[in-house]
Amino acid sequence: MRGSCRPRNTRDRAVCTTNCPTLIVTVGLPARGKTYISKKLTRYLNWIGVPTKEFNVGQYRRECVKIYKSFEFFRPDNEEGLKIRRQCALAALNDVRQYLSVEGGQVAVFDATNTTRERRATIIKFAEQNGFKVFFVESVCEDPDVIAENIVQVKLGSPDYIHCNTEDAVEDFMKRIKCYETSYQPLDEVLDRDLSYIKIMDVGRRYLVNRVVDHIQSRIVYYLMNIHITPRSIYLCRHGESDLNTKGRIGGDAALSARGKEFAKHLRKFIQDQNIKDLKVWTSQMKRTIQTAEALGAPYEQWKSLNEIDAGVCEEMMYEEIQEHFPLEFALRDQDKYRYRYPKGESYEDLVQRLEPVIMELERQENVLVICHQAVMRCLLAYFLDKTADELPYLKCPLHTVLKLTPVAYGDTQSALQKLYARSASHVNGNRVSMKTWIECHK
């Protein structure tokens, strides 16, 4: 639980305790990936259990000004435009206050350009009045190719340009950037030496970190220094069917069944057909994932962190046996599947913490095939597909199925399903799920 922020005797300032909420503020010109960073940070922090919400000022502006006309709205000498943008920023900050002070949020991400020292001073004053810590994330990019890609991938799909042809949209957006360049005041090592911030230069080629003051800020910095936008694909699948799967028993360290071995052969052919450059293969340290990987005829790396959730005293039991011998535990698990911990075992919440290093390394890598287990795959999917803790334990991860995830540099992760071996065991937690149903569960 975070601490409360009690007002001082003065009217314009609140005490910021050690565990008070954090306001993350993006800084940078348009088309520098600020919204991409905001979305990824929000997704990551929610996944590790830190209640976080993104506040995109552009959305507030679009709600206020229904029809976008041209870059003229963003000219520094457009008094009406300046007034509307200021009102939108204040409206977003009011919602930030509501979320952090009333609704129980712990981190708010204020996604806007915030390119002037005056605007940042307003935000700092707002945070001081409400007892929030402030951490700035500035994205600086001079690479024209990266900027152009961002414009094409995201900005041209924006509601601002829905009725525009590509050439006109690009021209208008470039002029919009010019409007901001005239007043842009980057974070300065001397003038802003007392602020907490990370400056990301040219999509992670270089970083400048200043005055990190707490655990949340250090985790934010660590995360941002691990992500990249290199095109790649992540393939996730469960091990082939095991002998315990055929008996409907959970956990254990069983070998593959005949069907499981058949799946491993199909997996090998699938991977070969994909012709994936420099593919890395990761498995858990359990027999069934190792045997599945060995059939590929390629090097693989074992991760203890990828081992299946520990069912404790319920290992190798059938669910009917758990209900008979541990009726209270069975009922408790149904009430809160994410936080329920098996006696002498783990919960999904524990598993997420165990898998955080895997996520960090996946963010650093390019093409990877992860051969894992049902609970582990659910946790990984929840991260990449931005699923809540309540949704996570119920994500469908059928046997003998490969999911291809393609993180998009400036958008949401794209997913594609490939069912490799249809004769899946019927015993294992409803693995006979139609492709249509599976995809609908992951939208």
Q: What is the mean pLDDT of each run of 10 residues along the chain (443 residues)?
A: 41 68 98 93 97 97 89 94 96 99 98 97 98 98 88 78 87 94 96 98 94 97 92 95 97 97 96 94 99 97 99 98 97 97 98 98 96 99 96 97 84 68 41 31 34
Find where tokens 């400048």 sit: 208
Find out whether 155 and 88 touch, Cβ atoms under 8 Å: no
pLDDT at 153: 77
Residues 284 and 375 grouped into a single domain: yes
| CATH number of residue 356's parent domain | 3.40.50.1240
The span from the CA of 72 to the CA of 60, in Å, is 18
Residue of 54, 138, 262, 308 marked active site:
308
Find where tokens 């709205």 sit: 73
Residue 308 annotated among the catalytic residues of the structure = yes
Q: Is 244 annotated as a binding residue?
A: yes
Structural domain count of the chain: 2
Residues 175 and 304 grouped into a single domain: no
For residue 357, being part of any structural domain is answered with yes
Residues 63 and 170 grouped into a single domain: yes
Residue 262 annotated among the catalytic residues of the structure = no
Residue 163 CB coordination number (10 Å): 10
The span from the CA of 113 to the CA of 58, in Å, is 9
Residues 200 and 282 grouped into a single domain: no
Find out whether 372 and 405 touch, Cβ atoms under 8 Å: no
For residue 200, being part of any structural domain is answered with yes
For residue 124, being part of any structural domain is answered with yes
Q: Is 321 annotated as a binding residue?
A: no
Residues 193 and 291 grouped into a single domain: no
Find out whether 219 and 355 touch, Cβ atoms under 8 Å: no
For residue 15, being part of any structural domain is answered with no
What domain range is 155 assigned to?
Answer: 22-225
Q: Is 288 annotated as a binding residue?
A: yes
Q: Is 11 annotated as a binding residue?
A: no
pTM: 0.89
Residue of 239, 329, 346, 363 marked active site:
239
Q: Is 192 annotated as a binding residue?
A: no
